[in-house]
Structure 1
Amino acid sequence: MTALLSPPRPEVATKRPPRKKIPVHWFYLAPALILLITFTYVPVGNMVWYSFHKWDGLSPAMDPVGWDNYVRVFTDERYWRVFLISLYYFVASFAQIAIALYFAVILSFSTRFRNLFKGILFFPYLLNGVAVGFVFLYLFQPGGTLDSVLRLAGLGEHARLWLGDPDVANIALAGTSVWRFTGLSFVLFLGAIQSIPGEIYEAADLDGANRWHQFRYIIAPGIRRIISLSFILAISGSLAVFEIPFIMTGGANGTRTFVIQAYETAFQFRQIGLASSMAVVLLLLVLLITWIQRRLVPDDEVSLS
């Protein structure tokens, strides 16, 4: 009996699952993400790790201390009292925003020599912070430029030690910060104002609206996001002031800010762990204030229609 042989079956080609392609946009984002993680998130993580240790920055061994560094920051008057110096810069930041908004509104309309004034207002922000500090150091020194101007104006009796008197030193330094950073706020406001469609202004002119009405009902609502951003930058900047007081006074005469205190703690007294905890507290404080502000002033969609 012969066995019936079934005809050979044709080989069925096995289909491999398609390979998942990496989205192209990740290749463009990878360099930026690598730089961001390497130079931002990794240092922040190291800073948090250092804040729970006692370390001088040189020895290979670090002694864990738990929350002792944070307890010291909040209980030692030398570390939390310097936060009060930030109030000078906080108040000055409101003056900076008001000045920048005033000139941005004026120069957004047709004004003679407005391009020249734009350059004059923005120029201080282009200068290096060290250069600004030295320029104003000569301005405020005894017998310097400011005292000479006061004598020429017949107000020589008002001359004083502008950087040596604790009652006026922080005011002088805060005024220097206003001069330097007004240009940044000015450019932000001016760009936001110029993004508002011109047809809205034309309709307001036909309705008989004056400049104040245009600012109140068109400009202010239209740049609300930029105003909110400026307040966030003002608050964080007032808490993290470093360049101007460090260059001009070195923190002397009651001008030591929280960042200068952290800098001296780290590099002068070699207490890296304590300085790291101060930096973490400053970071959390800025984030908390920003969150509160965003809750109080939500970022709603702006509509001028």
Structure 2
Amino acid sequence: MSGLSYRTQRKLILGTFLAIPLLMLLIFTYYPAVRLVYLSFTDWNGTSSDYSFLGLDNYKEIFSNPDLFGVFVHQIPYVIGGILQNAIALLFAIILNSKLRGRNGFRVLLFLPFIMNGVAVAFMFQYVFDTTEGSLNTLLGYLGLGSLQQSWLGNSALVNYTLASISVWRYMGYTMIIYLGALQAIPGDMYEAARIDGAGRWQVLWNLTLPSLSKIIQLNMFLTLSGALSVFDLPFVLTKGGPVGSSETFLFKTIQTAFQFNNFGLASAMSVVLLLLTLLILAAQNLALSRKGAE
């Protein structure tokens, strides 16, 4: 390279360093994504190299079969729990952003569930919600509320709300940390000016804090809703989709379709549908929040 100019050598070095990550991105991200879309139009069984092109048949099957697309109804409790999770996380973030004694310890305690292994969390709550010896039913009995004792994981009407409550407990601390970081980025001069102008706490919260957190709220709501659409670990470990399929989720059905029924073509189409629904929710959320900001 001694005969090359400095500019040419610089371009070659930069091009080499850029080519490697771009090549890995193409091989491990874009090619599998394109391959997934292609396989969604076939009847591939996951092993054979001989498969047929089905056109839109897999997608017609998804939207016409209530056992596939209809399981999204089971994920409504996760959406409700996610909204509640964001509200609680924001409340704790505001409290722990103040000059509270021991606030760092409280932050660690609330964030700790997020770093725990998901399977370990599921097994831990299996003992909490056990029908006969579970700590929740035992506590209700001690409090004289025996009428509220339930088969929390065996009741079709309650199982998804029970599982969603575990998600709220586990991810609330993570959401709180994001809100806390955003709160600490708000200049203190703004709060000082608001106090000088005579604004009360609720006025400061409503007119200063929440508008300053609008982008972070948007981010957390997207993470929450996309997570609610892709729930898998809790129903898989705790209920196996029961009772009678009442806790099955769309991702649960996707994995079951692929690895239990060996219909990778239909499972690929289900993965594409899940991706498109996530993008649709993101677009709708951005549109709604942008309109509100414009108003």
Q: Same fold (TM over 0.5)?
A: yes
Q: Percent identity?
A: 41
Larger of the two Rg values belongs to structure: 1
Measure how far apart 1:29 and its partner are. Answer: 4.7
SS of 1:112's equivalent? Answer: coil
TM-score (norm 2): 0.91
Q: Which amino acid aligns with 1:197?
A: P
Q: Which amino acid aligns with 1:111?
A: L
The 3 A distance-change label for structure 1 pair 72 and 230 is same
- Cα contact 1:189–1:226 (8 A) shared by 2: yes
Superposition RMSD on alpha carbons, in Å? 2.2
The 3 A distance-change label for structure 1 pair 35 and 188 is farther
Measure how far apart 1:204 and its partner are. Answer: 2.1
Which whole-Å deviations, capped at 9, do the CAs of 1:256-290 have from their partners, x for residues lacking one? Answer: 00000011000000000000000101101111121
2:111 corresponds to 1:122: yes
The equivalent residue for 1:265 is 257
- Counting matched residue pairs gives 286
**Unaligned residue ranges in structure 1 (runs of 5+):** 1-15
Distance 2:188 2:125 in 1: 41
Distance 2:199 2:35 in 1: 57
2:136 corresponds to 1:163: no
SS of 2:157's equivalent? Answer: helix
The equivalent residue for 1:96 is 85
Distance 2:288 2:162 in 1: 32
Which whole-Å deviations, capped at 9, do the CAs of 1:159-194 have from their partners, x for residues lacking one? Answer: 111000101111100100111111121011100000
The equivalent residue for 1:109 is 98
- Cα contact 1:225–1:299 (8 A) shared by 2: no
Between 1:207-216 and 1:234-243, the stretch displaced more is 207-216
**Unaligned residue ranges in structure 2 (runs of 5+):** none
The 3 A distance-change label for structure 1 pair 111 and 19 is closer
2:218 corresponds to 1:242: no
Which of 282, 287, 291 is the aligned partner of 2:279?
287
- Cα contact 1:55–1:61 (8 A) shared by 2: yes
- More helix per residue: 2
Q: Which amino acid aligns with 2:150?
A: R
2:71 corresponds to 1:82: yes
Measure how far apart 1:211 and its partner are. Answer: 2.2
Q: Which amino acid aligns with 1:106?
A: I
Q: What are the residue-to-residue correspondences of 1:28-47 with 2, within 5 Å?
A: 29-47=18-36
Distance 2:46 2:190 in 1: 59
The 3 A distance-change label for structure 1 pair 23 and 116 is farther
Q: Which amino acid aligns with 2:38?
A: W
The 3 A distance-change label for structure 1 pair 23 and 291 is farther
- Cα contact 2:41–2:54 (8 A) shared by 1: yes
Distance 2:136 2:28 in 1: 42
The equivalent residue for 2:11 is 22
Measure how far apart 1:208 and its partner are. Answer: 2.9
Which of 158, 171, 182 is the aligned partner of 2:172?
182
The 3 A distance-change label for structure 1 pair 28 and 121 is farther
2:191 corresponds to 1:191: no
SS of 1:110's equivalent? Answer: coil
The 3 A distance-change label for structure 1 pair 101 and 72 is same
The 3 A distance-change label for structure 1 pair 296 and 26 is farther
Which of 35, 43, 46 is the aligned partner of 1:54?
43
The equivalent residue for 2:204 is 214
Distance 1:26 1:149 in 2: 64
